[in-house]
Amino acid sequence: MLNGQTAVITGSTSGIGLGIARALAAQRCNIMLNGFGNAADIDALERGLTSHFGVDVAYNGADLSSAGACADLIRDAETRFGGVDILVNNAGIQHVSPVEEFPVERWDAVIAVNLSSAFHTIRAALPGMKRRGWGRIVNVASAHGLVASVNKAAYVAAKHGLIGLTKVVALETAQTGVTCNAICPGWVLTPLVQKQIEARAAANHLSVDEAGRDLLVEKQPSGRFTTVEQLGALAVFLCGEAAANLTGASLPVDGGWTAQ
């Protein structure tokens, strides 16, 4: 049922966002990519997705800290593809610091990208979805949208807020054919997390494998990383007919992290 639909995925040039983009492209969705990266690499990514999945792929490098750029991203996708059927708000940044030392500009940046951008893209995409009587909004929150950790005030606040936004949008669209849900991953082995593992290994004189196991054991009882492919499959499910009456949910994919 997703054949020919258009999906906008923020933060989709790498990591979780790219995994979701690939999963939706495999279902024959046209894809609007967004994110940072070298222009040549992004061009190669566009061409690779197009040739492998046989779908139309475009890229918009909108700065998601800007409300206007978020709205322009949706308008660009509507102009290029005729509408936005699926919106995945995945983009996120992080800063780690105790509250009393947290730089104000970093707080503002994390809230803007991790929370406010989702409001701005949803606000722009909803009118078209409602007119067509169908739409899927998937917000990539985090286990930190359900529980907290020290030194992550902005990230935790933003992800908790994203879950609240998800619930409000779900209620406001409950009878429109549009659904809105949140995916809440725990530790996912992305390039960003791999860098954290390598830094931990160097700081504690551990192998990379040992540092990865240490990272997991602190939070994730399964002792296994979630994969981007698993998150992509969940996003596809949320966009399908089986999830047509699933809305306002926050789905942890965290190896038991938030069950503790």
List, by residue number, the catalytic residues: 155
Strand partners, 179: 136
Contact assessment for residue 97 and residue 106, using Cβ atoms and an 8 Å cutoff: yes
The per-residue b/e assignment along 70-87, b for 16 or more CB within 10 angstroms, e otherwise, is bbbbbebbbeebebbbbb
CA dist 38 to 34, 35, 49, 59, 113, Å?
12, 10, 17, 12, 20
- Sheet containing 57-59, strands listed edge to edge, beginning at the edge strand earlier in sequence: 57-59, 30-33, 6-9, 86-89, 135-140, 178-185, 250-253
Strand, coil or helix: what is 239? helix
